[in-house]
């Protein structure tokens, strides 16, 4: 049996410009990072009975991969022509449909594990491209490229996508002191709401010219964000997050609502919070907040009975953490 650990992602600037409806017109440019919350995949061959055992939120035994009820696991196995003789278990450390790229992380983890256990060597580039094909083309799940890329490579990355679809991925290197400083200023706050990102992304396409114009504005935050990250300028990062959120929620009425607006206002009652933005497509999930004082903000959130998690950057990406073969 092998265990694969795959990180979730947090877009920091330019998120959304990795969607084909945008980059085919204007080129994509964004910064995204992986952090220390994960999807885990446990994978083992079953050479004796040739059956398939799936263990997620439900358990299923079958003899044919085409009959697997879990759509992601079914399509990954079909993609790699695995018909039977395998067991797959998955679990995650955060809620699904919360804007952190959970579907992509699961697909990347499954590909990493299955190709390893069947001795099919794939480069990181081939892994994220296969994950994109399965998720976006086969399963028709709406979204861009960053989720698969960040879950595969990990770390803090700047991603550029040309109009023709050429992708350049570059690591943003920070010294250890800056990394620790930023980690002590970033906190993920759960809104208590989950949602369908595909529905929200579809709503953005209804008024495409307006959506593209707003993403033009958000893309301009990429260079200032890169500079602020390298300097560890958390005040600037918080200000950029705040501006980002105020602009982004105008894309579609699905991105925010009175509950989320009031939730953000409630967070800002803690004067230690400089600013924040919702992670992912919007509509719920997590706000990524920047605080001047982590201890005081934690005290505030506990008093308000709001769930949160501190974060650390993940530098390894999809990784086999246990090999019991």
Least confident of 62-76, 89-103, 147-161: 89-103
Instruction: Look at strands 186-190 and 59-62 and give their pairing.
Output: unpaired
Q: Higher model confidence: residue 319 or residue 93?
A: 319
Q: Across the chain, what does the average pLDDT equal?
A: 94
Residue-wise pLDDT tens digits, 40-61: 999 999 989 889 999 999 999 9
Residue with tokens 């699905």: 254
What is the CA 169 to chain-centroid distance, rounded? 16
What pLDDT, on the 0 to 100 scale, is given for residue 95? 81
Coil, helix or strand for 65?
helix
> What pLDDT was estimated at residue 132?
98
pLDDT of 199 > 80? The answer is no
pLDDT of 284 reads: 84
Mean pLDDT of 237-266: 92
| Of 176-180, 246-250, 304-308, minimum mean pLDDT range | 246-250
The whole-number pLDDT of residue 322 equals: 86
Separation CA 92–CA 187 (nearest Å): 19
pLDDT category, 11, cuts 50, 70, 90? Answer: very high
At residue 58, what are phi and psi to the nearest 5 degrees?
-130, 165
pLDDT at 101 over 70: yes
The pLDDT of residue 324: 79
Percent of the chain with pLDDT over 90: 84
Structure tokens at 287: 């706000």
Q: How many CA atoms lie within 13 A of 250 on its CB side?
A: 13
pLDDT at 197 over 70: no
DSSP annotation string for 102-171 = HHHHHHHHHHHHHHHHTT----HHHHHHHHHIIIIIIS-----SHHHHHHHH-SEEEEEE-TT--EEEEE
Please give the domain boundaries of the chain with CATH numbers for all domains. Answer: 2-173+314-323 (3.30.230.10), 176-310 (3.30.70.890)
Q: How confident is the model at residue 107 (pLDDT cuts 50, 70, 90)?
A: very high
């Amino acid at each position: 049996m092998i265990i694969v650990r795959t990180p979730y992602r947090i877009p920091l600037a330019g998120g959304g410009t990795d969607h084909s409806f945008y980059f085919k017109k204007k080129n994509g440019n964004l910064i995204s990072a992986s952090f220390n919350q994960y999807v885990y995949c446990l994978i083992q061959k079953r050479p004796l009975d040739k059956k398939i055992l799936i263990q997620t939120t439900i358990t299923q035994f079958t003899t044919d991969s085409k009959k697997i009820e879990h759509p992601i696991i079914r399509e990954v196995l079909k993609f790699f022509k695995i018909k039977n003789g395998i067991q797959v278990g998955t679990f995650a450390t955060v809620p699904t449909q919360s804007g952190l790229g959970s579907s992509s992380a699961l697909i990347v983890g499954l590909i990493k594990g299955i190709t390893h256990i069947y001795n099919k060597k794939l480069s990181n580039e081939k892994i994220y491209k296969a994950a994109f094909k399965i998720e976006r083309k086969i399963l028709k799940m709406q979204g861009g490229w960053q989720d698969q890329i960040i879950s595969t490579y990990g770390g803090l990355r700047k991603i550029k996508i040309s109009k023709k679809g050429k992708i350049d991925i570059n690591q943003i290197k920070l010294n250890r002191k800056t990394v620790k400083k930023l980690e002590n200023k970033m906190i993920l706050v759960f809104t208590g709401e989950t949602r369908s990102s595909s529905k929200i992304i579809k709503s953005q396409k209804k008024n495409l010219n307006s959506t593209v114009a707003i993403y033009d504005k958000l893309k301009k935050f990429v260079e200032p964000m890169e500079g602020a990250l390298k300097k560890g300028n958390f005040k600037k990062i918080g200000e950029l997050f705040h501006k980002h959120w105020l602009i982004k929620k105008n894309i579609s009425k699905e991105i925010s609502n009175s509950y989320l607006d009031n939730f953000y206002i409630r967070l800002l009652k803690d004067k230690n919070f400089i600013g924040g933005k919702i992670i992912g497509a919007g509509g719920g999930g997590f706000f990524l907040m920047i605080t001047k004082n982590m201890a005081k903000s934690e005290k505030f959130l506990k008093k308000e009975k709001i769930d949160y998690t501190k974060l650390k950057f993940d530098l390894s990406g999809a990784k086999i953490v246990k090999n019991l073969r």
